[in-house]
Structure 1
Amino acid sequence: MSTRNRGAGRGPAPRGAGACGFLVVLGVVALAGCQRGDAEVPAPREEAPVVLGPEDVVRVESRELQEGPVLSGTLQARRAATMRAEVQGAVLEMKVEQGQKVKKGQLLARIQDVSQQDQLLAARTAVRVARNAVRVARAEEQRNRQLANAGVITRRDLERAQLARAQAEAQLSEAQARLALSRQQVGRTRLVAPFNGVVSERHASAGDIVQPGTPLYTVIDPTSMRLEASVPAAQLSALKTGSGVDFTVGGYGDRSFQGRIERINPAVDPATGQVRLYVTLPNTEQALLTGLFAEGRVAALRREVPAIPVSAVDTRAEPATVLRVKDGKLERVPVTLGMTDEVQRLVELRSGAQAGDVLVRGSAQDLTEGTRVEVRPERPGESEPGVGGAGAPPEEPQQPQQPQPR
């Protein structure tokens, strides 16, 4: 049988059979590729929590709050004196420097006193001449009295002698007054300390020509400071002479100082509606310096209550709210507030949160409710009063990553 016949006996192959087989193969390959792709898609990750540092949280704790009128101002020495030149002349000597302690009567500076010394010498000479004249006049009066009693001279001659003695005594008094004035002028060329204190300013140098009234030194008594402050007249009911005042002074951190109201101005300033107060602050240790800014409060009311910083409260809504960390998430809680300590910037927490609760403060309050958070515990040396690092879950040590086999 020929080859043609064998082929013709099978009959012609269907035209679509090859195309269908190709499509089946492609479908199998595509299905296998999709299955592999689905296996490589990673599972969705859970969002990482926001890490809060100790400076972002605060724990509700019981604290002592004080309420009363707030005072502020610049410290001044309670006793201060500016020593000025009382005569004209050149400064011969400046004895002390700024910051040096002085005692009452100690010489501070000398001004040229040539003309004053000349006047003093002339005044002394005039006093001696006047004393001699008085001595002669008194002796003459005594002789004339004896002669008048004996009838040798008339009473008129005795009266003339008495008048001469009176005139001599008057001239002596005038000469003595001039001598005292000359001594005073010489003394004015020497500046002495008016009290025990410290030289705070030196305004001149040796060789300067000064006029009466030119400042030379400023001496202060650092053992007592004074603060002048004003409060609204509406708060006068909480003020009285002798009331204690607690102060903090710039440059001394949280260290507090105590003073007392010494005087209250009896008149209200019509322009501001405020009353002037004068508060004394003992400074026996001489730790305080003039010119420092002080802020204090009259301790009118003291209470120990649960309190938090003002920065932890959101007062934009009514009632006020706080963000509390609970079960690793933030929740917004309405709270009831009480007295406010303006100096410590603390507010009483009456309801809404309990003692020990950890609240968010500061810029962290911009987080939304429901945000997952993690409070980083405090590290040594960064502890802050009221910071809620305690109670936060400890940070787990990170294990070094092992290289994965390829």
Structure 2
Amino acid sequence: MLQFSPLSRASTLLVTVGAVLLLSLPGPAAAQATRVETQQVEETPRIETLRLTGSVSAPRTSLLSTAEAGQVAALHVDLGDQVRQGERLLTLDIREAEIERQRAQANIAQARAERDDAQRRLNEANQLSAQQNIAASEQRQRQTTLAAAEATLDAQQAELALWELRLSRHEVTAPFDAFITRRESQPGEWVTPGDTLMTLVDVTSLRLDFSVPFSAYAQMDNATLDIRLEGDPQWYTARTQTRVPQDASSRQFLLRAEPTDTLTMLPGMAVEGRLRLEGDIGPSVPRGALIRRPDGSVSVWLARQEDDAWRAYEQRVEIGSGHDGNVAILDGIEVGDRVIVVGNERLEEGQSVSLIDD
């Protein structure tokens, strides 16, 4: 008969108790289910967001010149001034043109006197002709003289109108409401037609210009645009005005827009844009449901019901563009799948889960 020491009996007892405890511990499948929140995958429009860079431009910019050569007599505005349409900006020396206008007036007076004298002589000839005291040739001569005098008067009146027009061109006025952004002339300077005297910019209806890839052209009908000005953290909505094809080699087109809000802008300011393009309809998931692996792959956890129990299974997916916290799924899941959006940080394949939303 075998004999056991007290120490051997104690060791055997510990081993037996340990084995019993190990057999009684629940395995992974029998562990308490992890509570998770899920969302059923639905079809939604796939929104692609393009980041754009652009600038603020003015619809009207005018490089003012003069129609007459002359010396600058006075400048009535300075750099940075805001002017109204028709406001006087610059005046040329008008003394020579004024003398020519006065000469034209004197010539008109002389031509009018000669015309009146020719008319009087013709009237006398007509009276004498009735009495047969003047030759018909003399009467015709006086008619010709009157016609020449009237033509001379018309020419002198046209000459006066020309000098009055030239006098008016000695003043440069604002063609529209604007700011003076450049001034390139000084009093006493001689200027000629074609010289840029100053630059006016209309800042009352500024627009936003962006260069957009041609690949987005066909999707522009339902596109929406948000803009953010340089130095301003807030985004604003903008309304597209027109699309202008550019040089084909650039493979881009010009998108012109205007903000729907009243913003403080100046021409040349940089502006950032977010162009949202609505594409095909397909499944999407919240961004928080995505699990990004070190190897660059992306997956989601799906909750699937098996024998009245929910279990978690990892599924690799191919993702597309994101919008408003959702990401389009191009491949890997289907509409109707239940994706885990909360509690997916430390799941294991086949792990039992409890749905918060059940």
- Counterparts in 2 of 1:348 and 1:282: CA distance versus 1, 3 Å: closer
The one of 56, 74, 78 aligned to 2:55 = 74
**Could you tell me which residue of structure 1 aligns to residue 252 of structure 2?**
274
* Greater Cα radius of gyration, structure 1 or 2: 1
1:190: Cα distance to partner?
Answer: 1.2
Distance in 2 between the 1:284 and 1:132 partners?
Answer: 67
Q: Please list, as runs of the form range in 1=range in 2, the aligned pairs for 1:294-333 lying within 5 A after superposition.
A: 294-301=271-278, 317=295, 319-320=297-298
Would the aligned equivalents of 2:49 and 2:321 in 1 still touch at CA under 8 Å?
no
The one of 338, 345, 352 aligned to 2:320 = 338
Deviation per CA, 1:70-90, whole angstroms, max 9, x where unpaired?
653322111121211333333
1:262 and 2:239 equivalent? no
Deviation per CA, 1:203-247, whole angstroms, max 9, x where unpaired?
22333332322222222221212344443333331235x976432
Distance in 1 between the 2:253 and 2:233 partners?
Answer: 29
- Counterparts in 2 of 1:284 and 1:320: CA distance versus 1, 3 Å: closer
How many pairs are equivalent?
278
Percent sequence identity over matched residues?
A: 23
Deviation per CA, 1:225-277, whole angstroms, max 9, x where unpaired?
2344443333331235x976432222222232413223534xx6332333344
- Counterparts in 2 of 1:71 and 1:172: CA distance versus 1, 3 Å: farther
Distance in 2 between the 1:313 and 1:119 partners?
Answer: 87
Q: Normalising to structure 1: TM-score of the pair?
A: 0.57
**Could you tell me which residue of structure 2 aligns to residue 6 of structure 1?**
none
Q: Please list, as runs of the form range in 1=range in 2, the aligned pairs for 1:34-53 lying within 5 A after superposition.
A: none
1:108 and 2:89 equivalent? yes
- Counterparts in 2 of 1:284 and 1:233: CA distance versus 1, 3 Å: closer
Output the amino acid matched with 2:271.
A
Deviation per CA, 1:363-387, whole angstroms, max 9, x where unpaired?
xxxxxx9xxxxxxxxxxxxxxxxxx
Distance in 2 between the 1:237 and 1:159 partners?
Answer: 79
C-alpha root-mean-square deviation of aligned residues, in Å? 3.9
Distance in 1 between the 2:80 and 2:260 partners?
Answer: 16
Q: Please list, as runs of the form range in 1=range in 2, the aligned pairs for 1:148-187 lying within 5 A after superposition.
A: 148-187=129-168
Output the amino acid matched with 2:231.
G
**Could you tell me which residue of structure 2 aligns to residue 392 of structure 1?**
none
1:290: Cα distance to partner?
Answer: 0.3
Distance in 1 between the 2:243 and 2:136 partners?
Answer: 69
- Counterparts in 2 of 1:141 and 1:252: CA distance versus 1, 3 Å: farther
Q: Normalising to structure 2: TM-score of the pair?
A: 0.63
Distance in 2 between the 1:299 and 1:269 partners?
Answer: 24
Output the amino acid matched with 2:195.
T
**Could you tell me which residue of structure 1 aligns to residue 80 of structure 2?**
99
Distance in 2 between the 1:210 and 1:68 partners?
Answer: 52
Would the aligned equivalents of 1:126 and 1:175 in 2 still touch at CA under 8 Å?
yes
SS of the equivalent of 1:215 reads coil
**Could you tell me which residue of structure 2 aligns to residue 381 of structure 1?**
none
**Could you tell me which residue of structure 1 aligns to residue 232 of structure 2?**
252
Output the amino acid matched with 2:251.
G
1:183: Cα distance to partner?
Answer: 1.7
- Counterparts in 2 of 1:227 and 1:83: CA distance versus 1, 3 Å: same
1:176: Cα distance to partner?
Answer: 1.9
Distance in 1 between the 2:173 and 2:344 partners?
Answer: 63
**Could you tell me which residue of structure 1 aligns to residue 193 of structure 2?**
212
**Could you tell me which residue of structure 2 aligns to residue 290 of structure 1?**
267
Deviation per CA, 1:154-178, whole angstroms, max 9, x where unpaired?
3333322222222222222222222
